[in-house]
C-alpha cells in the first residue's frame, strides 16, 4: 500500500468524522430552532387570536346595542306629532313652503341632541314639491332626489335600508353611512317620506376602533357579500369589496371564527363575528409580521450565533488537521518505512508535551534500539499495573467506611463518650443518606432523617443546642423526593439565622401536601438573609460573586428545583421578621420515580 493510499484513507476518515459532527450537532440544532420558531408563531397567533376575538365580540355587542338604541331614537322622531303634521300636507304657496321649511328645519335642529348620530335628515316622498326645503344646507343633497336609485328603493321598502355615501356623493370629506327608514302616517299608514340618519366615522370609531394593545390591528365593518362599510385605517377600503376570497369562504361557513388568511397580498391573523342587529360582519385583522417581530429578532440572533458556530467548527477542524491529523500522517508514513526494515529512518525531534510528541519520541527510540524499546515497554506495562493496583488500593468502600464509623461509635460508647458516639453515628447516617446508593430520588422520611443527623452534628460542633421543631404530615413520609434539598436550607438557617443568638433562636420545619405538591416551609427568627443573597438566586453565577459564595447552598437547591421541575418550583423567600423559605416539590408516584431521568450525583 503506497503512502498516497494511506493519506487518502486518513483524509476520508477525517471527512467522515466531520460529516458525523455536522449531522450530530448542527443539523439537529437547526431543526430544533425551526421547530421552536413554528411553535412560537403558533402560540403567539393563538394567544392573539383569543384576545382579538374577545375584544371583537365585546365591540360587536356594544355596536349592536348602539344600533338598537339608534333605531328607538329614530322611531321617536318618526312618532313626533309635529313631524307627522308637517309631512301630512303638501304646501301650495311659497308662503306655506317657507313656513314649512322653517318649522321643519327647526324640528330637525331640536331633534339632533336626542339622536346619537352625526345628523338626521327628513325627505318628503315627493321632493320636487318642496324646492325651498330641498335646497337647504341641512339636507346636504344636490341633484334630483327622485332619480336616485337608493331613494326609490327605500320608498318602496317597508324595512329600513342602509346607504353608504362616499366623498363626492355628500358634502363631507369622509364617507357617511346612513340608515334610511320610510315612515307613514300614524293613523292612515300612507307613506310620508324618509328619515335618513347619518353616521360618520367618529360614531363608528367609538365602537369599532381596534385595540391599541395589538400593533397594526385593523377593524372592518362589511356586508355579508364583502362590501366594506367602515375601515379603521382612514377608511382606505370603504366602498370596495374585501380583497380576500378565503375570508368570504369562512364567513359563508360560520358566523364567527378566526384564522390566518391572505388579505391584500399579506398574511393576516383574522377574527370575525356577525352582528345581531344587521346582516353585517365585524372583522379584525393583524399582520403576522407585527406579531412575530420579536421572534424574527431572535432568529437573527440565532443566525449570527450559527454563523459564529460554523466558523468555530471550521477553525476546530483546521486546528485538528494541522496539529493532529498531519503529524499522525507523517507518523504512519514512518511506521510503514519501519515495517519494511528502514530502521535508520527517524522523525524530526518534537518538543510537544502531548501524546503526539510522545509518539514521535517513542518512534525514534524504537528505530534506534528495538530491543531497548521492548524492555521499556515491559517496564511501562509493569508500572501501569502497579499504578492500577495503587488506585484500587486507595479506593474507599462506603460499606467499609460505615463499618469503621460504627466501630468508632461502639468504642466511644463503651468508654462512655456519648457525645463522640452520637456525633460519629450522626456522621455515618449523614454520609449514608447523602450518598443514597448513588440514586437521585430518595423519600421525605430519609430527607428528614438526614436533617436530624446534620442537626446533631452541628450541636456537637457548636456546643450549643439547636432548637428545631419538626411538623411533618405522616402521609407524605414515604413520598419520592429529590435528595439533598432540606439539609442546605437547615444549614443556612443555623449559620445565617440563629447562630448569633442560640438562646432565643428557633427553627420550624413543616412538611405537608397541598393538591399535587409537597409544600415545605422553613422558618427561623434570626436576623434574616442579606438582600444580596436573595437577589443573586435567579441571577447568573457571576452576577454577584460574594453573594454567590455565601448563598451557594440556597442557589444549589434553587437551581436544581428549576432544572428538574420548572420555574414555578423555585424557592420563595420572605425576609420579614426572620427568614421564611417555601419549597414546593411535585408529588411523584413510585413508577415516576423509577422512570425519573434526573442524573444522579
**Hey, what's the cell of 564?**
428538574
pLDDT in tens, 39-92: 666 666 666 767 778 888 888 899 999 999 999 999 998 888 888 888 888 888
Q: Is residue 101 part of a domain?
A: yes
Other beta carbons within 10 Å of 333: 15
Is residue 53 domain-resident?
no
Residue 518 pLDDT exceeds 90: yes
Please check the confidence at residue 7 and state whether its pLDDT lies above 50: no
CA distances from 319 to 20, 114, 289, 313 (A): 18, 85, 42, 10
pLDDT in tens, 419-441: 666 666 666 665 655 555 557 78
Task: Please report which confidence band the pLDDT of residue 303 belongs to, taking 50, 70 and 90 as the band edges.
Answer: confident
Give the mean model confidence (pLDDT) for residues 480-487: 88
List CB contacts of 563: < 8 A, sequence separation 6 or more.
none
Q: Check residue 577 and give its pLDDT.
A: 84
Q: Which of 269-278, 345-354, 405-414, 430-439 has the highest mean pLDDT?
A: 269-278
The model's pLDDT over 359-376, given as tens digits with 9 standing for 90+, comes to 777 767 777 666 466 566
Residue 379 lies in a domain: no
Residue 407 burial (CB count, 10 A): 11
Q: What is the pLDDT of residue 293?
A: 62
Does position 10 have pLDDT exceeding 60, yes or no?
Answer: no
For residue 128, the domain's CATH number is 3.30.450.20
Q: pLDDT digits over 112-129, tens only?
A: 888 889 888 899 988 888
pLDDT-derived band at 462 (thresholds 50, 70, 90) equals confident
Answer whether residue 585 shows pLDDT above 90. Answer: yes
Say yes or no to pLDDT of 417 above 90.
Answer: no
Residue 282 lies in a domain: no
565 located within any domain? yes
Which band of pLDDT confidence, cut at 50, 70 and 90, is reported for residue 581? very high
Last residue of a domain, one of 186, 203, 220: 203
Question: How many domains does one find in the chain?
Answer: 2
Q: Are the CB atoms for 228 and 222 separated by under 8 Å? A: yes
pLDDT of residue 396: 40
**pLDDT, position 475:** 93
Tell me the torsion sign for CA atoms 126, 132, 135, 139.
Answer: negative
Q: Which of 176, 203, 230 is the last residue before a domain boundary?
A: 203
d(CA 67, CA 63): 6
CB under 8 Å to 172, separation ≥6 — which residues? 140, 165, 200
Question: Is 490:454 a contact under the CB 8 Å cutoff?
Answer: yes
The residue segments making up the domain with residue 149 are 79-203
302, part of any domain: no
**Confidence band of 583 (pLDDT split at 50, 70, 90):** very high
**DSSP track, 575-592:** -SSSEEEEEEEE---HHH
Give the lowest-confidence range in 206-210, 286-290, 319-323, 569-573. 319-323
More confident call, 264 vs 390: 264
The predicted-structure confidence for 263-285, as pLDDT tens digits, reads as follows 877 788 888 999 998 899 999 88
Mean pLDDT score across all residues of the chain: 78
Calculate the CA 359 to chain-centre distance: 54
- Mean pLDDT over residues 372-382, rounded? 64
Residue ending a domain, among 187, 203, 219, is 203
CA angle 508, 509, 512 (to 5 degrees): 130
Question: Which is more confident, 463 or 58?
Answer: 58
The Cα-based distances of 191 to 106, 148, 150, 152, 386 in angstroms read 22, 18, 16, 12, 119
CATH of the domain at 510: 3.30.565.10
Average pLDDT over residues 210-215: 72
- Tens of pLDDT, residues 129-161: 888 888 876 665 666 788 888 888 988 888 899
Is residue 487 a part of any domain in this protein? yes
> Would you say residue 321 lies in a domain?
no
pLDDT the model gives residue 47: 66
**Rounded CA gap, 585 and 593, in Å?**
13
Per-residue model confidence (pLDDT) at position 6: 43
The sign one gets for the Cα dihedral 298, 300, 303, 305 is: negative
pLDDT digits (tens, 9 = 90+) for 238-258: 988 988 888 888 888 888 888
How many Cα atoms are found within 13 Å in the side-chain-facing hemisphere of 355?
4
Of the pLDDT bands very low, low, confident and very high (cuts 50, 70, 90), residue 5 is very low
Q: State yes or no: pLDDT of 414 exceeds 90.
A: no
Name which of 194-198, 321-325, 554-558 the model is least confident about: 321-325
The neighbouring-strand residues paired with 259 are 270
DSSP, residue by residue, 374-432: HHHHHHHHHHHHHHHHHHHHTPPPHHHHHHHHHHHHHHHHHTT-HHHHHHHHHHHHHHH
Amino acid at each position: 500500500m503506497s503512502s498516497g493510499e494511506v493519506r487518502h484513507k486518513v483524509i476520508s476518515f477525517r471527512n467522515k468524522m466531520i460529516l458525523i459532527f455536522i449531522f450530530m450537532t448542527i443539523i439537529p440544532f437547526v431543526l430544533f430552532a425551526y421547530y421552536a420558531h413554528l411553535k412560537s408563531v403558533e402560540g403567539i397567533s393563538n394567544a392573539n387570536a383569543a384576545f382579538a376575538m374577545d375584544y371583537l365580540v365585546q365591540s360587536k355587542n356594544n355596536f349592536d346595542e348602539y344600533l338598537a338604541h339608534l333605531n328607538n331614537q329614530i322611531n321617536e322622531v318618526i312618532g313626533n306629532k309635529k313631524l307627522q303634521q308637517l309631512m301630512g300636507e303638501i304646501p301650495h304657496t311659497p308662503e306655506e313652503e317657507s313656513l314649512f321649511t322653517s318649522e321643519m328645519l327647526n324640528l330637525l335642529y331640536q331633534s339632533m341632541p336626542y339622536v346619537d348620530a352625526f345628523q338626521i335628515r327628513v325627505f318628503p316622498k315627493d321632493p320636487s314639491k318642496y324646492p325651498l326645503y330641498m335646497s337647504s344646507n341641512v339636507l346636504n343633497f344636490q341633484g334630483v332626489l327622485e332619480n336616485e336609485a337608493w331613494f326609490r328603493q327605500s320608498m318602496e321598502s317597508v324595512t329600513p335600508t342602509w346607504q353608504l355615501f362616499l366623498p363626492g356623493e355628500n358634502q363631507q370629506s369622509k364617507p357617511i353611512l346612513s340608515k334610511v327608514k320610510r315612515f307613514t302616517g300614524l293613523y292612515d299608514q300612507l307613506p310620508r317620506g324618509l328619515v335618513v340618519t347619518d353616521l360618520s366615522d367618529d360614531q363608528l370609531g367609538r365602537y369599532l376602533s381596534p385595540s391599541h394593545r395589538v400593533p397594526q390591528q385593523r377593524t372592518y365593518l362589511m356586508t355579508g357579500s364583502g362590501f366594506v362599510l367602515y375601515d379603521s385605517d382612514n377608511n382606505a377600503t370603504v366602498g370596495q369589496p374585501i380583497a380576500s376570497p378565503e375570508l368570504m369562504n369562512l364567513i359563508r361557513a360560520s358566523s364567527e371564527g378566526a384564522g390566518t388568511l391572505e388579505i391584500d397580498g399579506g398574511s393576516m391573523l383574522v377574527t370575525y363575528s356577525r352582528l345581531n342587529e344587521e346582516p353585517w360582519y365585524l372583522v379584525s385583522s393583524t399582520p403576522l409580521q407585527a406579531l412575530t417581530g420579536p421572534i424574527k429578532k431572535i432568529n437573527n440572533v440565532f443566525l449570527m450565533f450559527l454563523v459564529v458556530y460554523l466558523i468555530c467548527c471550521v477553525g476546530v477542524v483546521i486546528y485538528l488537521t494541522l496539529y493532529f491529523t498531519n503529524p499522525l500522517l507523517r507518523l504512519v508514513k514512518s511506521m510503514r518505512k519501519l515495517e519494511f526494515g528502514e530502521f535508520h529512518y527517524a522523525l524530526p525531534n518534537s518538543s510537544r508535551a502531548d501524546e503526539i510528541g510522545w509518539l514521535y519520541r517513542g518512534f525514534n527510540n524504537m528505530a534506534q534500539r528495538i530491543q531497548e524499546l521492548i524492555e521499556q515497554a515491559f517496564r511501562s506495562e509493569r508500572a501501569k499495573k502497579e499504578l492500577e493496583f495503587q488506585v484500587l488500593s486507595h479506593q474507599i468502600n462506603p460499606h467499609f467506611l460505615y463499618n469503621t464509623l460504627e466501630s468508632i461509635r461502639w468504642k466511644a460508647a463503651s468508654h462512655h463518650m456519648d457525645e463522640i458516639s452520637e456525633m460519629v453515628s450522626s456522621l455515618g447516617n449523614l454520609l449514608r443518606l447523602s450518598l443514597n446508593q448513588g440514586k437521585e430520588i430518595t423519600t421525605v422520611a430519609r430527607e428528614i432523617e438526614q436533617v436530624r443527623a446534620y442537626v446533631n452534628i452541628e450541636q456537637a460542633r457548636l456546643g450549643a443546642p439547636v432548637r428545631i421543631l419538626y411538623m411533618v404530615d405522616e402521609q407524605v413520609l414515604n413520598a419520592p423526593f429529590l435528595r439533598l434539598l432540606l439539609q442546605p436550607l437547615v444549614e443556612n438557617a443555623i449559620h445565617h439565622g440563629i447562630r448569633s443568638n442560640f438562646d432565643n433562636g428557633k427553627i420550624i420545619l413543616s412538611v405537608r401536601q397541598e393538591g399535587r405538591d409537597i409544600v415545605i416551609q422553613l422558618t427561623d427568627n434570626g436576623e434574616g438573609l442579606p438582600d444580596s443573597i436573595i437577589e443573586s438566586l435567579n441571577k447568573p453565577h457571576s452576577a454577584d460573586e460574594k453573594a454567590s459564595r455565601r448563598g451557594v447552598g440556597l442557589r444549589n437547591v434553587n437551581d436544581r428545583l428549576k432544572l428538574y421541575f420548572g420555574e414555578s418550583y423555585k424557592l420563595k423567600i420572605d425576609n420579614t421578621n426572620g427568614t421564611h423559605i417555601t419549597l414546593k416539590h411535585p408529588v411523584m408516584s413510585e413508577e415516576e420515580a423509577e422512570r425519573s431521568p434526573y442524573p444522579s450525583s
